[in-house]
Structure 1
């Protein structure tokens, strides 16, 4: 595909027919169909993070299996991989019910059940032609759902629709359910979980369990964490998660497909740059890229966050806030690009998530796509190493960290700008403001005080990471520095920055003057340590010509800062 023949990108388009007929750029995933049929399970559940191609795959299955418009739909697949498979004979053979809850988001159950009823009613409307085939009693049941009457048999509505379609066509029905768990997750965040789970246990259970009219069911969702006995007793269910699954290549974009896309769009970027930003997901033993991010990158040609936005992050933020104290150390390690050892499994429910927050939150982060395996999954090992997948997620977690621990990401803007421009007095003012606004921290245990100072400096690091290569507790000269910031753009001749931090303990009855005096002395000691240990050698060796040395000491909500500049 030459430069002038470049295809349009299907940004925000998840309708398979629209993509094919309008000749949008499409990575062929149609072998997914053959593999489902080869597996032969009655009901299959695929759990993947947001925007990893679930909705497009459901749309593809709909156009493939649907008996309606069979010949027209067949043309969509003629030049794709599935057309070369023996399973192509299954095309257009079944009535299909396709239902999606991907756009669900309601504040309470009253509005929630209304939204759910509308989705079901619209599905009935797509199949209203079957009314010509119904007796008076069944017609009344159909119309109650179609017209959204309260007396309708809503919990059995999908089951009944499979019966109507089977009787109309004389063929068993394919059921497709996209984002089955979105209403359940949303209800949990907003506080009406019990009502939602009660409805969906019956709604999903009735249509998928022992349904004589069912040919095949394919379900997608973000989390198996929401299963909560919804599928209890469903012995014909096969679950495919991101831990170890042969369907990995059909959700997300694998490396060879990314390489081809970069060629197709004549992008000059090195693959390693794209990897750094959007790769890092290890599903089983296959490296996977986030398709939403790749498509948007191909369009805008800029390495920046695309996948991360406010929608879909509510559950993550909820648990971060509830566990801010317990997970601080692990969270800090992740943000410093370290791995953490945690227990991950596929059998978690909201019930045991509630029972052990601090352990199971990592399951939630992992299955939601915010963390990934640091090494290939070994089923024999109970614990696995987890890490932040890529730069895109690191940026999101950086903002979340500051929001959770300091409540406002923008609070750091003034302080970091002052530091970059060498305005130490403004830096002092902004630091003082943050300490005063978080004065409640200093009424709790000494352990959390230490965490607060760590978090404060980590917040600084996260805000400055784009412009500085930041390292902590590394060797330089004759010892280990606390923080070292090396400018990424050496051509601008920005100065490097070295922090030496100290937390000062004083006697309980010490006066403010005594505390301040001790802070000043410790600041001078910190600056002297930078010189004595020759920490600047790391910057000098990197070609940096100027350094800003900062001694920073804390005692409760009091602090002192001293600085020196020099050419090196």
Structure 2
């Protein structure tokens, strides 16, 4: 067992995963790979945003196919054990497993980085095949070829985080080409390659020109539906995890602080090519494990990681950011080959990068902020970046707007809305409901810290424009209705007639009802006078 050849690393890591309380069995992915492995000289690359289970899948593949360990005690109890071909493939192949993110982290140049990988590979091969005479100054490819020619042995390559090198500060364009050439020479049309499974964030097509890595079939979240169910959690999987969570809380005599609906709001929203929406798996597991809904996926990087993608072309994306912060999806031409984090010039390139890195979701030709976990980071950016112009100015008024609403101070509310109008906000034409809703979202941005805000939700016998559900059920609830060329009194009347307040009345036996005031908030806008009027009543 060597450093890369038939090592114990993947086996040990996957073995620890299946012992965790919120493990999800994704072993049916292996069934999809059996025909490719059997055919030989097959290559696939699956790219997803970080924290979407790429490395766990790579460890699973390494543990299952590799000769280095007896893995039957792991897989015999998992779904794949019932599939034809299970026994024939289990621990049957020589495995080369390389995690490119864990190699020579102290290197100062590409040459030092790649030389370490080559040296470790050659050491493994020379030790495992000591009967073969290798040329002292031979290459890795030459050594693999000698092994195949003399023994007939072939290898499965599992390459995790293949694109890690592109995020190194020292990497140059020349280095990128040399790295692609290294992979090409190592893998393409080589008789010793049984199968290559490669993962990363960035699509190969961005960096591989012409025919360099065209042997790879590439599967991204946007362009291919195959393999979608193995990366991210589906609704059915989260249902099962939530049932397990409730049982665990019961056994440990803990009060459950996570709700099923909360998991959906916080972590769902990524759309696959087939239209299925999936959850961020890391965040779901952490929320259940720590008994708390919170920001786990993006905790590794602050909001400025999002701002990094837009800072060079704020003017082009500002209006769309305002709409997305309001919960709208906006049209975009997402091309994943344009997703490198460097030299992003156009709006479509910026949004393409944000989709690839998981900050936005893409479906039906539109991009959107997928869930509350990401929305919090966008909100943070809107409140802290003056370069966002009018969007920043509106967001900064949101503390005053919420305080005025709770205090029934309609004059201050009207003054703030007037200020909003007078800033000549580009999207403030009020010709479309989405534009008006975007403004309301921005002027109540800070309310998201205390409220779950739902737009156009079914309530009573109709659909209300906005409902503000307080996180603290003793706090005031708010129902907000917007009217153009109608009075706020008419908005209040609609709230009453359609009985929107029933959303807060609770159900019989509800042991945690809303007990605060229910505020009916009517906002009217007069197109001719170009002014706003507000009215608040306690229901």
Going from structure 1 to structure 2, the CA distance change for 1:164 and 1:290 (only over 3 Å counts) comes to: farther
Alignment of 1:474-513 (within 5 A): 486=468, 488=470, 492=474, 494=476
Paired with 1:312 and 1:23, the residues of 2 have a C-alpha distance of 31
User: Does 2:270 match 1:289?
Assistant: no
Deviation at 1:118, TM superposition (A): 4.2
Q: Could you say which residue in structure 2 is the equivalent of 1:90?
A: 89
Alignment of 1:464-543 (within 5 A): 464-468=447-451, 486=468, 488=470, 492=474, 494=476, 538=495
Structure 2, unpaired ranges of 5+: 1-8, 248-255, 430-436, 458-464, 502-516, 525-531
Going from structure 1 to structure 2, the CA distance change for 1:313 and 1:421 (only over 3 Å counts) comes to: closer
Going from structure 1 to structure 2, the CA distance change for 1:337 and 1:53 (only over 3 Å counts) comes to: same
Q: Is the CA contact (8 Å cut-off) linking 2:80 and 2:86 kept in structure 1?
A: yes
Deviation at 1:338, TM superposition (A): 0.8
User: Does 2:171 match 1:206?
Assistant: no
Deviation at 1:81, TM superposition (A): 2.3
Paired with 1:226 and 1:180, the residues of 2 have a C-alpha distance of 13
User: Does 2:255 match 1:258?
Assistant: no
Q: Could you say which residue in structure 1 is the equivalent of 2:20?
A: 24
Q: Could you say which residue in structure 2 is the equivalent of 1:223?
A: 202
Q: Is the CA contact (8 Å cut-off) linking 1:180 and 1:220 kept in structure 2?
A: yes
Q: Is the CA contact (8 Å cut-off) linking 2:65 and 2:93 kept in structure 1?
A: yes
Going from structure 1 to structure 2, the CA distance change for 1:563 and 1:24 (only over 3 Å counts) comes to: closer
Going from structure 1 to structure 2, the CA distance change for 1:297 and 1:310 (only over 3 Å counts) comes to: closer
Deviation at 1:171, TM superposition (A): 1.0
Which of 22, 32, 37 matches 2:34? 37
Q: Could you say which residue in structure 2 is the equivalent of 1:303?
A: 293
Corresponding pairs, count: 477
TM-score by length of 1: 0.67
Structure 1, unpaired ranges of 5+: 1-13, 142-155, 375-382, 436-441, 475-482, 501-528, 552-560
Q: Could you say which residue in structure 2 is the equivalent of 1:178?
A: 160
Alignment of 1:128-277 (within 5 A): 129-130=127-128, 132-135=130-133, 138-141=135-138, 157=140, 159-160=141-142, 162-163=144-145, 166=148, 170-184=152-166, 186-187=167-168, 190=169, 192-224=171-203, 227-229=206-208, 232-242=211-221, 243-266=223-246, 270-277=259-266
Q: Write the deviation string for residues 405-436 of structure 1: whole angstroms up to 9, x where unpaired.
A: 45999988986896688699xx99xx9xxx9x
Q: Write the deviation string for residues 50-75 of structure 1: whole angstroms up to 9, x where unpaired.
A: 11111111111112222233xx2333
Deviation at 1:498, TM superposition (A): 8.5
Structure 1 stretch displaced more, 488-497 or 277-286: 488-497
Q: Could you say which residue in structure 1 is the equivalent of 2:373?
A: 392
Q: Could you say which residue in structure 1 is the equivalent of 2:508?
A: none
Q: Is the CA contact (8 Å cut-off) linking 1:279 and 1:289 kept in structure 2?
A: yes
Q: Could you say which residue in structure 1 is the equivalent of 2:75?
A: 77
Q: Is the CA contact (8 Å cut-off) linking 1:175 and 1:214 kept in structure 2?
A: yes
Q: Secondary structure at 2:314's aligned position in 1? A: coil
Deviation at 1:456, TM superposition (A): 9.9
Structure 1 stretch displaced more, 43-52 or 389-398: 389-398
Deviation at 1:123, TM superposition (A): 5.0
Q: Is the CA contact (8 Å cut-off) linking 2:489 and 2:522 kept in structure 1?
A: no
TM-score by length of 2: 0.70
Q: Write the deviation string for residues 462-520 of structure 1: whole angstroms up to 9, x where unpaired.
A: 3321324658999xxxxxxxx988462685454869899xxxxxxxxxxxxxxxxxxxx
